[in-house]
Amino acid sequence: MVGAGNIAGPAWDLTSEYPDAESAEVEADLARFDELAAAIEGHNETLLEFLPVATSVEPDSTAIGVAQQIHLLSEQALRLLSNIGNYANCRVSVDSTDEAALRLQGLLQRRRSRYGDALSPLEQFLDRVDDSVVEAYLKGDIASNTRFQVLHRRERRHELLSLEEERLAGALAEDGIHAWGRLYSQLSGTLRCQVDVAGAQREMGIAAVSGLMLRVDDGVRESAWRSINAAWESQIETCTAALNAIAGWRLELCRRRSIKRDVHFLDSPVHANRIERETLDTLMSVAREAVPLAQRVALAQARAYGKARIGPWDGRAPAPSIVEGPPGVVEGPGIAFDEAIAQIREAYGSVRPEMGDFVAMMAERRWIEGTVSDNKRPGAYCTRFMKSKTPRVYTTYTGGMSDVITLAHELGHAFHGWVMRDLPDAQQTYGMSIAETASTFGESVVRDALLEAATDDAARFHILWEDCSALPTFVLNIPARFEFERKFYDLREERPQRPAEIKALMSNAWEAWYGDCLSEPDPMFWASKLHFYISGTSFYNFPYLFGYLFSLGVHAQRERLGADFYEAYVALLRDTGRMTAEELAQKHLGADLTKPDFWRASVASMHSKVEQFEALASELF
C-alpha cells in the first residue's frame, strides 16, 4: 500500500533527555553547570598565579593537581552544556517558533562564553610548561585520556606569544577579524537579487536564489547564478575590504608568531585537520592527476543537458531526468520512509548484520526525525547527546531518492558516534578531514545497493549522476578554491589586492582546473562563497577533498578485506579521536598518506563508474 500517509517520516523522541525545555531537569542541569563553572573559576585563581612563571614550574608542583582538577570539572561541565544545547537546537530545528527552546538557547549563550573563559588558563598552562610537567599532568587517571589532544596542541607551542600579547590578540579579534566575518554574514542575509524566472522578474534573497541552482531547468540555474553575481558585484568594495582584512590579520599574526621559526599561513589549517603539510601537497598533486577523469564526468553531464560545456551554475545541477517541482513535493508515489529504512538496513547489513541492526534500532527507538512542516529548518544533520551517549538524526523526509541518500549519510555519522560511545569524552571528537568518513561510506554502500537493484537505465543514470558528480565537485572545484586562496595569501603579503585582481585570480583558478569543459569561469566566486569569510577557520576547502578521497579509500578496503573489513572499519572509526590522519591510515589501512599510492587508488576506484556513466549519457541523450 502506497499513500501520502506512509511517505512521511516519523517525529523523533527527545524525552529520554528532558521532558520539556522548561522542566525541572533542565533547571537542575543548568544549576549544576553553574556550580561546576564556579568551581573551575575558584581553581583558576591558583593556576593563574603559575601562568607568568609557567616555564619554571617543576613536575612536582602543586599546580599539576590543580590543573587536573580543572580538567575533571571541565569535562562534566561540557557534558551538561552540550546536552542542554543539543536539546534546545533539536527542538528549534523542528519548530523555529518554539519559544521555550529559543529562551533556553539564550540562557546558554553566556554560559558558553563563561566556559571558554574558564578553560583558557588550563590551555595556556599546558601549552607553556615543560615536557616533564606535561608528562606529570598526563600520568594517573584524571587526564591520561587527553594525551593525544594535549600533545597535538603543543606541536604549535613555538608560535606562542607572551601571555599579555595572546590576551590582547584574542580580545581585539572580536572586533577585528571576527567582525569582518560577521559583516559578510550580515550582508549575505540581507542582499537582494533580481532574478528572471520564466520571463518574470522577481526579487529574492541569496538563500532562496541559491535554491534555484538545484533546479533541472538550465535557464533557471543560469539566471539564478547571474543574479547572485550581479548582487555581489554591487558590494564588491565591501567584500574586497573584508577578504583583504581577514587574510591580512592572519598574515600579521603569522609574522609575529615567527619567533622561533617561520610560521606559514597553511600551518594552522593543516594542524587543525590533524594532517601533515606533506600529505596536503601529495593530495593536491593527485587531484591534479585526476583532472582528466573529473573533466570526463563534467563533459558527460553537459551532453545530458544538450550542450558542449558545463556552466559555473551547474555545480549542483540534478540529473536532467528528475521531475521538476518545488522542494518538498515529490512527483509519483515516492519511497515510503519505512521502505527507505528497509533499503538502508539491507545495504548496511550487507557489510555486516550488526550495521543493519543499528539502522533498525535508530528507527525503532525513534532517534530519527523525518516529518515535513513549514516551521522546520532546512537541511539534515546528526547530533549526539553526551549524557545518554545516544545519537539523533535530523532530516525532512519527502520520499525522494536524494532523501534516502541523505538518510544513509546521516546514519553513517550516527554509526560513527555509536561505535565510539564507550570511549572517554576527550577521544570522541575528530578533525574535519576525517569527519565525513563514515557518512560518505554509508552513502556509497547504499548507492551501490540501489545501483545493483535498479531495473532500468534511467534509474541507473540517476544514481550514477549523483555518484560521479562528486568528482567535478571535489577534484575540480575544491582545488580551484584552494589554489585561489593560497595565491591570494601570497599576493596579500605584498599589499591588499584590488577587486579586478581578485576576479582575475579566481577566473584563472577555475580555468586551470576546469579547462575546456567550462563555458566561462566564475570571477565573483570569492565574493559569493561564504567559506572564504569564516573568520575562525582558514582554507575551508581542502578538507572536503581529503574527506572524499579518504572515504573512497576506506570503501575500497571493503572488497580487499572481505569478511575482515567490519572489524577493521570499526577499529578505524574508534581511533579517529586519538590519532592523526596519517597514523590512522597507517594503522588501519596500511597506507602512507604522504605518498600518492593511496590517493591514486581512491581515484582509480571511480574509473568503471565514470565509464558506465559516460556510456549511459551517450545512450540516453
What's the closest the beta carbon of residue 432 comes to Zn ion, in angstroms? 10
3-state secondary structure string across 128-197:
HCCHHHHHHHHCCCCCHHHHHHHHHHHCCHHHCCCHHHHHHHHHHHCCCHHHHHHHHHHHHHHCEEEEEE
Q: Which is nearer to Zn ion, 93 or 439 (CB)?
A: 439
How far apart, in Å, are the Cα atoms of 36 and each of 25, 118, 285, 532? Answer: 17, 10, 49, 37
Residue 393: strand pairing partners: 368, 382
Q: Which span (26-34, 305-313, 439-447, 534-542) binds Zn ion, by CB under 5 A?
A: 439-447
Q: Which span (137-145, 246-254, 432-440, 477-485) binds Zn ion, by CB under 5 A?
A: 432-440
Element (H, E) at 467: helix 457-468
What's the closest the beta carbon of residue 273 comes to Zn ion, in angstroms? 15
Q: Rounded to whole angstroms, how far apart are CA atoms 186 and 179?
A: 10
Q: Which is nearer to Zn ion, 223 or 477 (CB)?
A: 477
Q: Which is nearer to Zn ion, 39 or 411 (CB)?
A: 411
Q: Which of 118, 28, 25 is nearest to 78 (CA)?
A: 118
Q: Which is nearer to Zn ion, 439 or 602 (CB)?
A: 439
**Could you say which DSSP state residue 474 is in?**
I
Q: What are phi and psi of 530, to 5 degrees?
A: -55, -35
Q: Which is nearer to Zn ion, 439 or 444 (CB)?
A: 439
Residue 394: strand, helix, or coil:
strand
Q: Rounded to whole angstroms, how far apart are CA atoms 377 and 103?
A: 17
Q: Which of 348, 334, 392, 295 is nearest to 87 (CA)?
A: 392
What's the closest the beta carbon of residue 49 comes to Zn ion, in angstroms? 44
What's the closest the beta carbon of residue 548 comes to Zn ion, in angstroms? 11
Total chain residues near Zn ion (CB under 5 A): 1
Q: Which of 192, 293, 284 is nearest to 480 (CA)?
A: 284
For 262, the grid coordinates are 617561520
Q: Which span (12-20, 183-191, 242-250, 436-444) binds Zn ion, by CB under 5 A?
A: 436-444
Largest CA distance in the chain: 77
Residue 382: strand pairing partners: 393
Q: Is the dihedral of CA 80, 83, 87, 93 positive or negative?
A: positive
* By the rule CB under 5 A, 444 interacts with Zn ion: no
Q: Which is nearer to Zn ion, 44 or 439 (CB)?
A: 439
Q: Rounded to whole angstroms, how far apart are CA atoms 235 and 185?
A: 13
Element (H, E) at 390: strand 390-394
Q: Rounded to whole angstroms, how far apart are CA atoms 77 and 217?
A: 51
What's the closest the beta carbon of residue 381 comes to Zn ion, in angstroms? 8
Q: Which long-range contacts (CB under 8 A, 24 or more apart) does 539-544 make?
A: 539/266, 539/269, 539/482, 539/485, 539/486, 541/478, 541/481, 541/482, 541/485, 542/269, 542/273, 542/280, 542/283, 542/284, 542/478, 542/482, 543/273, 543/431, 543/432, 543/433, 544/436, 544/474, 544/478
* By the rule CB under 5 A, 541 interacts with Zn ion: no
Contact with Zn ion (CB under 5 A): which of 74, 145, 406, 439?
A: 439
Q: What are phi and psi of 256, to 5 degrees?
A: -70, -30
What's the closest the beta carbon of residue 424 comes to Zn ion, in angstroms? 24
Q: Which is nearer to Zn ion, 309 or 409 (CB)?
A: 409
Q: Is the dihedral of CA 195, 520, 540, 471 positive or negative?
A: positive
Q: Which is nearer to Zn ion, 343 or 439 (CB)?
A: 439
Q: Which is nearer to Zn ion, 295 or 439 (CB)?
A: 439
Q: Which is nearer to Zn ion, 340 or 610 (CB)?
A: 340
Q: Rounded to whole angstroms, how far apart are CA atoms 491 and 479?
A: 18
Q: Which is nearer to Zn ion, 195 or 382 (CB)?
A: 382
What's the closest the beta carbon of residue 547 comes to Zn ion, in angstroms? 9
Q: Which span (246-254, 435-443, 537-545, 611-619) binds Zn ion, by CB under 5 A?
A: 435-443
What's the closest the beta carbon of residue 330 comes to Zn ion, in angstroms? 23
For 109, the grid coordinates are 549563550
Per-residue binding letters, 555-584, with Zn ion (x by CB under 5 A): ------------------------------
Q: Which is nearer to Zn ion, 403 or 483 (CB)?
A: 403
What's the closest the beta carbon of residue 41 comes to Zn ion, in angstroms? 36
**Could you say which DSSP state residue 533 is in?**
G
Q: Which span (19-27, 207-215, 301-309, 433-441) binds Zn ion, by CB under 5 A?
A: 433-441
Q: Which span (129-137, 237-245, 437-445, 583-591) binds Zn ion, by CB under 5 A?
A: 437-445
What's the closest the beta carbon of residue 439 comes to Zn ion, in angstroms? 4
What's the closest the beta carbon of residue 489 comes to Zn ion, in angstroms? 28
Q: Rounded to whole angstroms, how far apart are CA atoms 277 and 546?
A: 13
Q: Which is nearer to Zn ion, 7 or 380 (CB)?
A: 380
What's the closest the beta carbon of residue 164 comes to Zn ion, in angstroms? 40
Q: Which span (121-129, 279-287, 438-446, 539-547) binds Zn ion, by CB under 5 A?
A: 438-446
Q: Which residue's Cβ lies closest to Zn ion? A: 439
Q: Which of 365, 381, 373, 379 is nearest to 86 (CA)?
A: 381
Q: Which is nearer to Zn ion, 214 or 561 (CB)?
A: 214
For 383, the grid coordinates are 547530533
What does R_g of the chain's alpha carbons equal in angstroms? 25
What's the closest the beta carbon of residue 394 comes to Zn ion, in angstroms? 12
What's the closest the beta carbon of residue 409 comes to Zn ion, in angstroms? 6
* By the rule CB under 5 A, 406 interacts with Zn ion: no
User: Residues in the site for Zn ion, rule: CB under 5 A?
Assistant: 439
